[in-house]
Amino acid sequence: MTFRDSSAIVPLVVREPASGRCSRWLRRDPALVVWSLTAVEVVSALARRRREGALSEERFAAARQRLSGLERAWAEVRALDVVRRRARRLLEAHALTAADALQLAAALVASEEDPPRLAFATLDRQLALAASREGFEAPA
């Protein structure tokens, strides 16, 4: 099972340089685990691309449809209070944004505080480093 942050979901719904890598991760491990606000982060990334002219209305709609399909298949970490407590600790221990700390905290909750139980998929270098320091491994 693999926890995926939003940076590892966006390339699954819209073509990007990392789409091949993220698709391989998904083929190897189709069990998706995400933070409950990941879909919001993904739509934010898609909307920003649309506003910047990098994504047409048609491709935006197609990407949202693909996201809906993923949402039906994934498991979400919804334990807000527990995730919030973990995120506060992570912010003091690692150079992370609040959103990244929440992602990593959700992964810790999903792994039941046993990071080797889950791989952690992200394209964000700083988040990957923090995840590694917390005991997570990247997907194969």
Query: pTM to 2 decimals?
Result: 0.94
Q: What is the pLDDT of residue 140?
A: 84
Query: Does residue 16 have a pLDDT over 90?
Result: yes
Give mean pLDDT, residues 89-114: 97
Query: Does residue 63 have a pLDDT over 90?
Result: yes
Tally the C-alpha atoms within 13 A of residue 7's C-alpha that lie toward its C-beta.
15
The CATH code that applies to domain 2-133 is 3.40.50.1010
Burial class for 3, CB neighbours closer than 10 Å (0-12, 13-18, 19+) = buried
